[in-house]
Structures are given as C-alpha cells and as structure tokens.
Amino acid sequence: MTSDAPSAPPSTAIPEEEPEPALLGRARRRGPRRRPDSAGTQPSSTREAILTAARESFLAQGYEGTTIRAVARTAGVDPALVSYYFGSKGDLFGAAMNMRIRAAEEIAAVLAGDLRSAGPRLVRLAMTAWDDTRDGAVFRALLRWVATDDGAPEAVQAYATQEIATPVATALEQAGVPGPGARERATLAGSQLVGLAMIRYVFRLEPLAGASVDHLVDVVGPTIQHYLTGPLPAHR
C-alpha cells in the first residue's frame, strides 16, 4: 500500500566541528560548538576570555561561589565549552592560577638541561613567576583565600597537579625516569613548591616571606634536586 503524502526532504544535518589541533591530545570528548559571534573569536582568544572570567570570579566569589555556568556567561561562551577546554571546576582553577601561559613548556625547558642541577632552576622559575608584580599578584591573592575557602583541598590539588606535578613528571619521563618514579618525584617537588608558596605569601612567615629569590634558590633548590634525582626509599 502506498501513501499519497509527499516524502520528507533529505536531512541536512550540520556536521560536527573538528576539534582544534591543540586539543587533540586531550581525553576523547566531543567538542561543543562555540556560540557564533561577529568577531569570529579564535580558540586562543576564547580560552583567554574564559581564563579571565574565571580569575575574576575566583577572586570575587571564592572557589565555592564560582560556577562553570557563571564563568561561561561572563566569557560569552557556552558552559560546555568551558568544560571542553578545562574539564572540572578544579581544573579550571588550576589553569586560572597559572598566570604564565606556557608553564608546561617552561618547566620542560628547565628540566631539559642537566637534570642533576635542575632543582635550583625549577625553584627560580616558580619563585620568579609567583613574585611577579602583575601576574604574581593574582596568584598570591588566590592563594590567600585558598587558606580559608571550603573548596581549598580540591583547588590546591588541581593546581599542584595540573600546573606543577604533571609537567615535571612528563619532563622526567622524557629524561628516562620510569613513569611511577617520575610521578612520585614530581609530586614531592610540587608539594614542596606549593608549601613554600603558602609560607611565603599566605602565612608570611619570616625569614622566608622576605627572602630574596636567590636565597630561596640556594636553600630550597637542593631539596627539590633530591626529589628529582636523589635516592628515595622503597615503598613498604
């Protein structure tokens, strides 16, 4: 039996956007479409708009008071795009705290030389960035409310993992350190650096709060060096 009703026109589904090349290495998540805009926003500027909105929100509202949806609204993008670029709110916080856009590349460069003297160089890189008058000010302000905000554990974990431990572990693995050992060494180094930042910028304990970067390199660098290349006890 045939119907006299006209057949439906063929579907003209809009194809999915291809993910930007810079995101191909991330977990396999389908990339959401960005809201169209007259300026033709590029991925890099979109990412920066999200980071700017996130920094402002974290500073004004704290960790608990900041939401992915609110950050997206301020940045003028779909909330799914925030998750696409940064994952969870904790991951977004870690990226927002990292004022040096190419931290992973800078850490890799520091560890690319003689690994036996990389500890002091890593301390100098971190302290120079965190002491910076402009970008470091945002980092220091965020650290201060981390000390009292209910979301501090997740926030600090995200920052220490994404912006310090993961790049250090990657660099160590590229230098020939086995994966599990590289991750343990990177986590030890990251915990030391984040702890130093808390003492220097939040609790402001002297003499570390007022110490010069050169002095901190001299006194903390050997400890970081031991974590990177020194003998570690076997797990019991």
Look at residue 1 and tell me if it is in a domain.
no
Structure tokens at 187: 């986590």
The better pLDDT of the pair 36, 80 is held by 80
Mean of pLDDT values over 39-65: 80
State how far the Cα of 164 lies from the Cα of 123, in Å rounded to an integer.
11
Structure tokens at 154: 């997740």
Instruction: Give me the number of domains the chain comprises.
Output: 2
Mean of pLDDT values over 53-69: 87
| 69 shares its domain with 150 | no
Look at residue 97 and tell me if it is in a domain.
no
pLDDT digits (tens, 9 = 90+) for 131-185: 987 767 767 776 777 666 666 666 667 677 777 888 899 989 988 888 889 999 9
For residues 92 and 86, the answer to whether their CB atoms sit within 8 Å is: yes
The model carries a pTM of: 0.65
Question: What is the CATH classification number for the domain harbouring 49?
Answer: 1.10.10.60
pLDDT at 98: 64
Range of the domain at 53: 43-88
φ and ψ at residue 159, rounded to 5 degrees: -65, -50
Look at residue 4 and tell me if it is in a domain.
no
Mean of pLDDT values over 207-220: 97
Last residue of a domain, one of 58, 88, 118: 88
Question: What is the CATH classification number for the domain harbouring 107?
Answer: 1.10.357.10
Handedness of CA 138, 143, 146, 152 (dihedral sign): positive
